[in-house]
Amino acid sequence: MTSKKPYILAIESSCDDTSAAVLCGEKVLSNIIASQKIHQEYGGVVPELASRAHQQNIIPVVHQALARAHVAKEQLSAIGFTRGPGLQGSLLVGVSFAKSLALSLDIPLVEVNHLQGHILSHFIDKEGNKKPSFPFLAMTISGGHTQILKVNDYFSMEILGETQDDATGEAFDKTAKILGLPYPGGPLIDKYAKEGNPHAFSFPFPKVEGLNFSFSGLKTSVLYFIQKNVKENPNFIQENLSDICASVQYTIIEILMRKLKKAVSQTGIQQIAIGGGVSANSALRATLQHYAKKDLWEVFIPEFQYCTDNAAMIGIAAYYKYLRKDFADMHVTAQARYNF
Ligand code: KG4
Ligand code: ZN
């Protein structure tokens, strides 16, 4: 396989997914994700176990990504990797691997900010896929982050608002934990909520200035609500699981949508792209589509495989940096807290 466009191998290891992807320009040839099941037993990601699992997974995952893309490592033009933000021990595995491979192949190394990767995943080529044009609004909602940004260019992004405590994904995961559901709870709440009434129970909305968010109050009110009701009826959770999930999910989505509407009215920008694990949520996707029809917003929702952590999004960001010859030097290290 030959092409004038560069072949880029990208590595993502910021949290609990080990992923490798091969891209040819903006086209994804392979995107392999090894999710770590071990954390389910602990109700959350255990950093020590995550880095160990990345060590075990990284070589097979990279081999599989190259094999599925039908690309030999000698054909690669650059190696992209997630520098941060994320868990330091997890990031180090990806950074070290990327550096060693780039050094041995004598090709450039490209560092990527994980959150910019989530946003730039909208530029991956797909048939019939319209890409956002600059400037647009992005909302990144994951297990570690919740932000609304104005995206002026590929690497020029302004944070307009962000969470002051828990991330949106944590609101899902912590609710799930209170309900006795395994980690990660977001997909399960999504599933049970489909059968439930979103207005069965009501939870208070946080009062937060501007475009910032807060989710820790919601977690506490869900905890007190469950404790009180279980005291009166020990089977309360089992008997009302779908309604509880639907009501909490409705509150989370409403919190997000109120801020998004505010961001649209403040900036006058009506193109909205979402990213991060929570953008896989089916009710949020439907709500956004509804607003798109009603308010003439242009909404960009990633394919499921590019919602949660994946290396393809790191690859597309690396491609745009490669075009600018924005390469990392060999002294680069992982950065757990990494602002852009
Ligand atoms: O982006 P991601 O894979 O990892 C981080 O960078 O954090 O996001 C993981 C988060 C978890 O909190 C998970 O519960 C949530 O995304 N999530 C969902 C859904 N799928 C994943 N939350 C709600 N509904 C879903 N369908
Ligand atoms: Zn992420």
For the entire predicted model, the pTM comes to 0.94
Atom of ligand 1 nearest to the CA of 184: 14
Q: Using the mean position of ligand 1's atoms as its centre, give its distance from the Cα of residue 278 in Å.
A: 4
Q: Using the mean position of ligand 1's atoms as its centre, give its distance from the Cα of residue 58 in Å.
A: 22
Q: Using the mean position of ligand 2's atoms as its centre, give its distance from the Cα of residue 143 in Å.
A: 7
The string of DSSP letters for 94-111 reads: HHHHHHHHHHHHT--EEE
pLDDT category of residue 3 using cuts at 50, 70 and 90: low
Judge if 7-122+308-323 and 132-302 fold alike in CATH terms: yes
Over residues 237-253, the mean pLDDT reads 98
CA-to-CA distance for 227 and 234, rounded, in angstroms? 10
Of 44-58, 133-147, 290-304, the one with minimum mean pLDDT is: 44-58
The alpha carbon torsion through 83, 159, 291, 188 (nearest 10 deg) reads 40
Q: Domain coordinates of the chain in residue numbers?
A: 7-122+308-323, 132-302
Question: Would you say the CB of residue 275 lies under 6 angstroms from ligand 1?
Answer: no
Report pLDDT for 37. Answer: 78
Question: Would you say the CB of residue 19 lies under 6 angstroms from ligand 1?
Answer: no
For domain 132-302, say whether CATH 3.30.420.40 is its number.
yes
Atom of ligand 1 nearest to the CA of 170: 12
The label of the residue with tokens 């899902």 reads: 172
Q: Is the pLDDT of residue 305 over 60?
A: yes
Question: Would you say the CB of residue 190 lies under 6 angstroms from ligand 1?
Answer: yes
- For the domain made up of 7-122+308-323, the CATH class stated in words is alpha beta
* Identity of the amino acid at 244: I
Q: Is the pLDDT of residue 231 over 80?
A: yes
Strand 7-12 to 146-153 pairing:
unpaired
With vertex at residue 150, the alpha carbon angle to CA 277 and CA 155, rounded to the nearest 5 degrees, is 80
Mutation probe of ligand 1 site: the residue of 36, 45, 120, 142 with most atoms within 8 A of C-beta = 142
Q: Where are the alpha helices (DSSP H) in the chain?
A: 47-69, 88-105, 114-120, 168-178, 186-193, 216-232, 236-267, 282-295, 312-323
* Identity of the amino acid at 231: K
CB 183 within 8 Å of CB 44: yes
CA-to-CA distance for 89 and 334, rounded, in angstroms? 9
Region label for 115, one of left (φ > 0), alpha (ψ between -120 and 50) or beta (otherwise):
alpha
Report pLDDT for 45. Answer: 81
Summarised one tens digit per residue, pLDDT across range 167-187 is: 999 999 999 999 999 989 999
Q: Using the mean position of ligand 2's atoms as its centre, give its distance from the Cα of residue 317 in Å.
A: 14
Q: Using the mean position of ligand 1's atoms as its centre, give its distance from the Cα of residue 324 in Å.
A: 32
Q: Is the pLDDT of residue 2 over 60?
A: no
Q: Is the pLDDT of residue 271 over 90?
A: yes
Mutation probe of ligand 1 site: the residue of 121, 219, 256, 278 with most atoms within 8 A of C-beta = 278
Q: Using the mean position of ligand 2's atoms as its centre, give its distance from the Cα of residue 43 in Å.
A: 18
Question: Would you say the CB of residue 196 lies under 6 angstroms from ligand 1?
Answer: no
From the list 267, 162, 271, the residue with the least C-alpha distance to 209 is 162
Which amino acid residue places its CA nearest to atom 20 of ligand 1? 187
Average pLDDT, the chain: 95
Nearest ligand atom owner, CA of 118: 2
Over residues 68-92, the mean pLDDT reads 96
CA-to-CA distance for 102 and 330, rounded, in angstroms? 9
Q: Is the pLDDT of residue 130 over 60?
A: yes
From the list 266, 267, 259, 271, the residue with the least C-alpha distance to 295 is 271
3-class SS shares of the chain: helix, strand, coil, % to 5: 45, 20, 35
The string of DSSP letters for 231-277 reads: HH-TTHHHHHHHHHHHHHHHHHHHHHHHHHHHHHHHH---EEEEESG
Q: Which residue has the higher pLDDT, 241 or 54?
A: 241
Question: Would you say the CB of residue 142 lies under 6 angstroms from ligand 1?
Answer: yes
Please give the DSSP secondary-structure letter assigned to residue 208.
-
Nearest ligand atom owner, CA of 116: 2
Region label for 70, one of left (φ > 0), alpha (ψ between -120 and 50) or beta (otherwise):
left
Q: Using the mean position of ligand 1's atoms as its centre, give its distance from the Cα of residue 184 in Å.
A: 7
CA-to-CA distance for 120 and 275, rounded, in angstroms? 9
φ/ψ of residue 303, rounded to 5: -60, 155
Q: Is the pLDDT of residue 13 over 80?
A: yes
Taking CA atoms, 137 is separated from 87, 107, 134, 154, in Å, by 27, 34, 9, 12
Over residues 106-118, the mean pLDDT reads 97
